[in-house]
């Protein structure tokens, strides 16, 4: 496990490992194209005897797991009496709790160095004799391999390339990850939320309030006043923002007298010391210590809004209907950022732009009723300083473009 930790925390080793992984998957997919026959096309009405279903998403990123959650409820609505199992990872499994799943199979990072564990898992899955295997992500090679090797009677997924890979394939193409899930479930003939789902228990909500009181009590004269802005410092590889950006944002929050709580990602430990030092003299900000993922989600769910790069907590906020201000550095992130009416997307913003977006969001919350849960139909996205090529991604005539000065 020491080797895996070293790879995850070293930028250059991570890039090299990612390159080797992609090359290996390319060769593996090429071989499977030659060996495996394309399944016969089916429609959802032609499927008979669907009693066992396996949802397949063995990915270690929190956001990818959260994006898949609406399909669980859609399958439960379509097959209310079926047994629904889920192949997840030990890292993402906590976020899938409280969803209508009968059993979880978990893949750990240790299996990467112990391939015999993967073989054992495949044998266990084949022994279940699933009627339907659902491959959530069309771009997941590992998910595709599992789908084809477990021997399910029918399979469901998104087409990759020109070759048919599944009995039932997703309808239409989508430019956003949330819409891809809706497209995947469209053949089921049931409604599907186009935003992640996360259900917290009452105990988790109460624990979160206790932690929030601890974090904001130093900066509030009113114990009942627990409003705060969440700032997540983290992200994957080149989605991150430099330390100087976050320190300037902290200074700006102090100058504007806005109460905030800073959360650090698991790979941002090198930023802990300078951020802690900057917050030592803070009048409005606190640093949240590391928390278990569901405890962190419950605390985040109490925030008025989240300022974040493209990250797992960004999707957590979306699942909890917390307004987001997404700080985008790369165009590919545009396919993942939340885009409800109360969300804002900032393209490589200056600090002043972020502060103005925070104020605009808070003013909007104060002037309107509480935000309702996201519906199946997406609402317009608010943009601040959009990239020139982003228009084709969200072509709704209702799209609001706002320039924050």
Q: What is the pLDDT of residue 396?
A: 31
Spell out the residues 6+ positions from residue 126 whose beta carbon is closer than 8 angstroms to its own. 149, 150, 151
Are 375 and 341 a contacting pair, CB within 8 Å?
A: no
- Most confident among 187-196, 313-322, 375-384 (mean pLDDT): 313-322
Alpha helices in 256-350 (DSSP H): 272-279, 293-300, 312-319
**By three-state DSSP, how is residue 394 classified?**
coil
Min mean pLDDT across 98-112, 314-328, 336-350, 389-403 is at: 389-403
Q: What is the pLDDT of residue 86?
A: 97
Which DSSP string corresponds to 26-90?
HHHHHHHHHHSPPPPP--GGG-----EEEEE-----HHHHHHTHHHHHHHHHHSTTSEEEEEEET
Q: Does 202-402 match 2-8+27-188 at the fold level?
A: yes
Q: What is the pLDDT of residue 384?
A: 55
Q: What is the spatial distance between Cα 287 and Cα 238, in angstroms, rounded to a whole number?
A: 24
Q: What is the pLDDT of residue 79?
A: 95
pTM, 2 dp: 0.84
pLDDT (average), residues 187-192: 88
pLDDT (average), residues 387-401: 39
Which is more confidently placed, 332 or 109?
332
pLDDT (average), residues 221-240: 83
β-pairing, 103-107 with 229-233? unpaired
Q: What is the pLDDT of residue 150?
A: 93
**By three-state DSSP, how is residue 166 classified?**
coil
Does residue 319 have a pLDDT over 60?
A: yes
Q: What is the spatial distance between Cα 237 and Cα 267, in angstroms, rounded to a whole number?
A: 10
Q: What is the pLDDT of residue 33?
A: 63
Closest alpha carbon to 15 in 200, 236, 283, 245: 236
Domain ranges of the chain: 2-8+27-188, 202-402
Neighbours of 183 (CB within 10 A): 18
Closest alpha carbon to 344 in 366, 319, 322: 322
Are 148 and 155 a contacting pair, CB within 8 Å?
A: yes
Task: Work out the pLDDT band at 30, boundaries 50, 70, 90.
Answer: low
Does residue 316 have a pLDDT over 80?
A: yes
Does residue 311 have a pLDDT over 60?
A: yes
Min mean pLDDT across 22-36, 89-103, 306-320, 324-338 is at: 22-36
* Average pLDDT along the chain: 83
Which DSSP string corresponds to 302-321?
TSSEEEEESSHHHHHHHHTT
Percent of the chain with pLDDT over 90: 56
pLDDT (average), residues 336-345: 94
How does pLDDT run across 113-164, given as a tens digit for each residue? 777 888 899 999 999 999 999 999 876 777 888 888 899 999 998 876 656 7
pLDDT (average), residues 217-227: 71
Does residue 193 have a pLDDT over 80?
A: yes
Q: What is the DSSP letter of 110?
A: H
Does residue 224 have a pLDDT over 90?
A: no
Q: What is the spatial distance between Cα 62 and Cα 17, in angstroms, rounded to a whole number?
A: 20
Q: What is the pLDDT of residue 346?
A: 96
Return the bridge partners of 287, or none.
Answer: 262
Task: Work out the pLDDT band at 43, boundaries 50, 70, 90.
Answer: confident
How does pLDDT run across 350-386, given as a tens digit for each residue? 999 999 999 999 998 887 644 433 333 344 445 555 5
Q: Does domain 2-8+27-188 have CATH number 3.40.50.2000?
A: yes
Q: What is the spatial distance between Cα 289 and Cα 213, in angstroms, rounded to a whole number?
A: 14
Q: What is the pLDDT of residue 141?
A: 77
Q: What is the spatial distance between Cα 19 and Cα 114, in angstroms, rounded to a whole number?
A: 20
Q: What is the spatial distance between Cα 31 and Cα 13, in angstroms, rounded to a whole number?
A: 27
According to CATH, the topology of domain 202-402 is Rossmann fold (3.40.50)
If phi over 0 gives left and psi between -120 and 50 gives alpha, with beta otherwise, what is residue 74? alpha
């Amino acid at each position: 496990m020491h080797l895996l930790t070293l790879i995850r925390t070293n930028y250059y080793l991570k890039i090299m490992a990612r390159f080797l992984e992609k090359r290996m998957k390319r060769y593996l997919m090429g071989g499977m194209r030659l060996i495996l026959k394309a399944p016969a096309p089916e429609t959802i009405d032609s499927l008979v005897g669907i009693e066992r279903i396996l949802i397949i998403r063995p990915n270690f990123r929190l956001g990818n797991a959260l994006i898949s959650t609406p399909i669980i409820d859609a399958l439960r609505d379509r097959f209310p009496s079926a047994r629904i199992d889920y192949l997840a990872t030990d890292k993402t499994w906590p976020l899938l709790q409280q969803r209508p799943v009968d059993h979880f199979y978990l893949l750990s990072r240790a299996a990467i160095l112990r391939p015999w564990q993967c073989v054992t898992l495949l044998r266990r899955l084949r022994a279940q004799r699933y009627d339907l295997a659902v491959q959530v992500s069309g771009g997941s090679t590992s998910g595709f391999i599992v789908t084809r090797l477990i021997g399910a009677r029918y399979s469901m997924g998104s087409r990759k390339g020109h070759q048919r890979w599944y009995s039932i394939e997703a309808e239409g193409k989508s430019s956003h990850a949330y819409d891809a899930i809706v497209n995947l479930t469209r053949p089921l003939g049931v409604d599907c939320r186009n935003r992640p789902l996360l259900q917290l228990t009452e105990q988790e909500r109460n624990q979160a309030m206790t932690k929030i009181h601890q974090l904001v009590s130093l900066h509030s004269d009113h114990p009942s006043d627990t409003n705060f802005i969440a700032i997540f410092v983290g992200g994957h590889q080149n989605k991150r923002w430099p330390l100087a950006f976050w320190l300037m944002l902290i200074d700006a929050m102090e100058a504007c007298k806005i109460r905030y709580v800073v959360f650090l990602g698991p790979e941002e430990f090198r930023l802990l010391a300078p951020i802690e030092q900057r917050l030592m003299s803070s009048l409005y900000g606190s640093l949240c210590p590391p928390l278990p993922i569901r405890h962190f989600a419950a605390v985040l769910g109490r925030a008025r809004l989240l300022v974040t790069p493209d990250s797992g907590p960004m999707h957590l906020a979306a699942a909890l209907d917390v307004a987001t201000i997404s700080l985008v550095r790369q165009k590919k992130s545009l396919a993942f950022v939340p885009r409800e009416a109360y969300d804002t997307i900032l393209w490589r913003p200056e600090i002043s732009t972020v502060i103005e977006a925070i104020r605009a969001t808070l003013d909007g919350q104060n002037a309107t009723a509480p935000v309702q849960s996201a519906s199946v139909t997406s609402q317009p996205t608010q943009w601040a300083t959009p990239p020139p090529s982003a228009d084709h991604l969200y072509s709704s005539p209702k799209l609001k473009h706002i320039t924050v000065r």
